[in-house]
Amino acid sequence: MKLAGATDVHLVKGWFDQTLPRFTPPAPIALFRPDADWYDATLLCLEQLSPHLADGAMIIIDDYYTWDGCARAVHDFAARQSRAVRLSQRDNAVCYLRWPAGGRA
């Protein structure tokens, strides 16, 4: 975070399933980069934190091309949204999407 020049960082220590259900961020999340690897953890991160995303937030899916469980969780999450969620990629290595204005996609 220091290398990125981030000045307003909030870290929460603990397992996703224990910390996320009771976590409320101090402000809407503008950049969300879950690094959860596995299906259950990735889906939990997406489901628990998506209500806290700012309009137009960038979601970078760290392990989309590395772990099948991660990719399946992203697709399952996207399928549950009321509007289409479009995945994009950069240099065939980074999967990302922009969270729509108004919350739930």
What's the predicted TM-score (pTM) here? 0.84
Closest CA to 102 of 42, 12, 38, 28: 28
7-16 pLDDT, tens digit each: 877 777 899 9
14-70 confidence digits (pLDDT tens): 999 999 998 888 889 999 999 999 999 999 999 999 999 998 899 999 889 999 999
Yes or no: say if 60 and 53 are a contact pair by the CB < 8 Å rule.
no
Residue 95 carries which side chain, given as an amino acid letter? C
Backbone φ and ψ for 85, nearest 5 degrees, come out as: -105, 120
Domain boundaries, the chain: 31-98
